[in-house]
């Protein structure tokens, strides 16, 4: 079987060689698609794991037993409010009104539930305050 | 007749007795109490604007190396700073791109990094790679220098923006059949949207339309710190058509401003990427306007309903410098989220932040109320109408 998953590492386990054990002990192929691991900080890794389904289940149980959280690969658009300059250039770009302007306060809002992850906002935001996460 | 001098207003500020309101708050006060009573009560009106202001940058003195070097080419994080000033004096322009940037070869270009981002990185305390080259002279033998530096390591850093705080601007639309990428943002085909970039009733020069109180030496909020108006800005054009209230109906006055970069903040000087166009700097500017008389109060009480902007086609008229505006709309309409042009209702978006403009006016108000910010009387005020200063084209 072959599966794309997201591994979330709590800060206390980021220095353990999980990928090595998945390959060596569980005979799984691990293809790292995206990784953000920093010493003593929470980490996140998008991987494609393939191999025998029994080995896959065992491997996943091993990761979970060590505190690693596993979630299916899903894209998500995130609004970095700190980076947002509140200009509102995005509101005419977003096709579903997930990015909107609260009037008359003139405050930009982002409603994640409305977002269809079209990613149009990523490059149309001058301040680069929109990010895609997996 | 109400008459107040700068000295009288400053004495009240020092005593903690000055009445300071924002350019937004003064509108309802003037409506309720009338011009005369409000002019008697209010001493200072604070304004603010936070939008992309391309004509910006900073002078740096980088300090001398050992052995000494006459730096002839200088790069900060790969972005070239103009080194034809003096041995280690350079000017980093906000819109400068790294030499490696593909620009619009892969249209529309992303322009993820440029001079404006270097300024923001320096203000955020980040390390920046300084690279310098030279041909070497007897007095400046060194030919190459590389070092990671922070703003603290740079002996002298002066933000100097030759054109900021445009008094009014166009509303951009696109009459063509394809999406265009402009300094007014993304403009969808067939007038799919209308973009503007002014803080309207909060904007500094829209509150003093003939520049009666603004000129060389006016102390201002600049990039989160204190700065000064140093001259009138490039393309300063007081002679444009104005409404009955004196407010220009098209881009008019501009300011050249400066201040010590080291006391500014990355919150109020932000590098931005305009897809298909380039890099620019969001600059926070706030100007206090002394209420010297009823006329100044009347000017500062101007509201979005009474400030108008031209709607201009950016597919043909603006780039070719031809054609007439397609119409005129008020900032009240623009801020409502849609404008009506003929039989078309067009959604609007802004590139400048009204929310942040209000925040700047509030910060400046607090600075003045707390007594830490006094007003300065300009050495001379900006050129106004009938002084022979105007925008000109080179053809």
pLDDT digits (tens, 9 = 90+) for B205-224: 999 999 999 999 999 999 99
CATH fold label, A2-72: Alpha-Beta Plaits (3.30.70)
| Alpha helix positions (H), chain A | 18-24, 53-65, 120-124
For chain B, say whether A80 makes contact (Cβ under 8 Å).
Answer: no
What CATH number matches the domain at A76-133, 2.60.40.10, 3.30.1330.200, 3.30.1490.100, 3.30.70.20? 3.30.70.20
What local confidence, expressed as pLDDT, does residue A15 receive?
A: 81
Longest Cα separation, chain B: 73
Check CB contact under 8 Å for A89 and B193: no
A2-72 matches A76-133 in fold = yes
Give tens-digit pLDDT for A106-115.
999 999 888 8
What local confidence, expressed as pLDDT, does residue B67 receive?
A: 97
Check CB contact under 8 Å for A88 and B185: no
For chain B, say whether A89 makes contact (Cβ under 8 Å).
Answer: yes
Strand bridging mode B308-313 / B171-173: parallel
Among B335, B336, B353, the residue with its CB nearest the CB of A87 is B353
What's the CA angle centered on B350, arms A84 and B91, to 5 degrees? 70
Residues of B in contact with A106 (CB under 8 A): 335, 350, 353-355, 358
Q: What is the mean pLDDT of residues A15-27?
A: 92
Residues of B in contact with A126 (CB under 8 A): 52, 185, 272-274, 280, 282, 351
User: Which range, of A2-11, B25-34, B70-79, B353-362, averages the lowest pLDDT?
Assistant: A2-11
User: pLDDT band for position B118 (50/70/90)?
Assistant: very high
Instruction: Name the B residues in 118-137 with CB < 8 Å from any A CB.
Output: none
Check CB contact under 8 Å for A126 and B280: yes
Q: What is the mean pLDDT of residues B121-138?
A: 98
Q: Does the N-terminal peptide bond of residue A104 adopt cis geometry, omega within 30 degrees of 0?
A: yes
Give tens-digit pLDDT for B242-257.
999 999 999 999 999 9
For chain B, say whether A85 makes contact (Cβ under 8 Å).
Answer: yes
Torsion of CA B69, B73, B74, B79, to 10 degrees: -170
What local confidence, expressed as pLDDT, does residue A54 receive?
A: 94
Cβ neighbour number for residue B322 with a 10 Å cutoff: 9
Among A85, A104, A123, the residue with its CB nearest the CB of B353 is A85
For chain B, say whether A100 makes contact (Cβ under 8 Å).
Answer: no
Q: Which residue, among B337, B338, B281, has the nearest Cα to B121 in the 3D structure? A: B281
**Residue A68: is its pLDDT beyond 90?**
yes
Among B280, B348, B353, the residue with its CB nearest the CB of A86 is B353
User: pLDDT band for position A46 (50/70/90)?
Assistant: confident
Q: pLDDT exceeding 90 applies to what percent of chain B? A: 97
Residues of B in contact with A123 (CB under 8 A): 110, 273, 275
User: pLDDT band for position B163 (50/70/90)?
Assistant: very high
State the Cα–Cα distance between residues B163 and B374, nearest whole angstrom: 24
Residue partners of B13: CB distance under 8 A and separation at least 6: B43, B44, B368, B369, B371, B373, B374, B375
Check CB contact under 8 Å for B273 and A86: no
What local confidence, expressed as pLDDT, does residue B316 receive?
A: 96
What local confidence, expressed as pLDDT, does residue B392 receive?
A: 84
Check CB contact under 8 Å for A92 and B275: no
For chain B, say whether A133 makes contact (Cβ under 8 Å).
Answer: no
What local confidence, expressed as pLDDT, does residue A75 receive?
A: 81
**Residue A134: is its pLDDT beyond 80?**
no
User: pLDDT band for position B110 (50/70/90)?
Assistant: very high
Residues of B taking part in catalysis: 139
Q: What is the mean pLDDT of residues B100-121?
A: 97
Q: What is the mean pLDDT of residues B53-73?
A: 98
Check CB contact under 8 Å for A106 and B353: yes
Q: What is the mean pLDDT of residues B294-310?
A: 98
Domain boundaries, chain A: 2-72, 76-133
Check CB contact under 8 Å for A87 and B112: no
What local confidence, expressed as pLDDT, does residue A39 receive?
A: 79
């Amino acid at each position: 079987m072959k599966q794309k998953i997201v591994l979330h590492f709590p800060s206390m386990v980021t220095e353990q060689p999980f990928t090595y054990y998945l390959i060596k002990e569980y005979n799984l192929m691990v293809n790292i698609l995206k990784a953000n691991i920093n010493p003593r900080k929470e980490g996140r890794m998008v991987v494609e794991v393939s191999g025998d389904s029994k080995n896959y289940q065992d491997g996943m149980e091993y990761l979970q037993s060590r505190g690693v959280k596993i979630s299916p690969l899903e894209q998500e658009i995130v609004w970095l409010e700190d980076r947002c300059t509140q200009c509102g250039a995005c509101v005419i770009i977003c096709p579903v009104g997930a990015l909107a302007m609260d009037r008359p306060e003139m405050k930009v809002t982002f409603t994640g539930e409305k977002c269809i992850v079209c990613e149009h906002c990523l490059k149309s935001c001058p301040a680069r305050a929109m990010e895609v996460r997996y | 007749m109400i008459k107040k001098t700068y000295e009288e207003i400053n004495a009240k500020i020092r005593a903690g007795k000055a009445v300071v309101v924002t350019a937004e708050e003064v509108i309802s006060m003037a409506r309720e109490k009338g011009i005369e009573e409000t002019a008697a009560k209010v001493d200072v009106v604070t304004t603010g604007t936070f939008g992309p202001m391309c004509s910006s940058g900073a002078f740096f003195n980088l300090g001398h190396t050992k052995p000494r070097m006459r730096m002839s080419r200088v790069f900060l994080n790969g972005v070239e700073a103009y080194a034809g000033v003096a041995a280690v004096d350079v000017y980093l322009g906000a819109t400068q791109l790294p030499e490696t940037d593909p620009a619009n070869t892969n249209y529309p270009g992303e322009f993820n990094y440029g001079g404006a981002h270097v300024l923001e990185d320096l203000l955020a305390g980040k390390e920046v790679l300084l690279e310098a080259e030279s041909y070497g002279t007897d007095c400046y033998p060194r030919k190459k220098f590389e070092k990671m530096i922070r703003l603290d390591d740079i002996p002298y850093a002066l933000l100097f923006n030759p054109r900021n705080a445009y008094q009014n601007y166009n509303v951009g639309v696109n009459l063509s059949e394809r999406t265009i990428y402009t300094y007014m943002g993304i403009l969808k085909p067939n007038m799919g949207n209308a973009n503007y970039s002014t803080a309207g009733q909060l904007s500094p020069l829209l509150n003093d339309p003939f520049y009666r109180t603004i000129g060389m030496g006016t102390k201002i909020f600049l990039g989160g710190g204190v700065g000064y108006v140093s001259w009138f800005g490039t393309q300063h054009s007081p002679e444009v058509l104005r409404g009955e209230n004196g407010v220009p109906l098209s881009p008019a006055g501009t300011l050249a401003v400066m201040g010590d970069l080291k006391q500014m903040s990355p919150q109020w000087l932000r590098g931005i990427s305009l897809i298909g166009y380039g890099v620019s700097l969001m600059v926070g500017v706030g100007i206090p306007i002394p209420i010297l008389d009823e006329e100044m109060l009347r000017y500062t009480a101007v509201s979005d309903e009474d400030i108008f902007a031209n709607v201009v086609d950016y597919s043909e008229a603006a780039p070719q410098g031809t054609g007439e505006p397609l119409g005129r709309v008020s900032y009240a309409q623009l801020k409502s989220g849609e404008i009506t042009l003929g039989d078309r209702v067009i959604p609007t978006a802004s590139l400048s932040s009204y929310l942040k403009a209000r925040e700047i006016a509030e910060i400046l108000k607090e600075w003045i109320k707390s007594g830490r910010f006094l007003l300065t009387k300009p050495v001379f005020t900006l050129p106004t109408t009938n002084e022979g200063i105007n925008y000109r084209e080179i053809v």
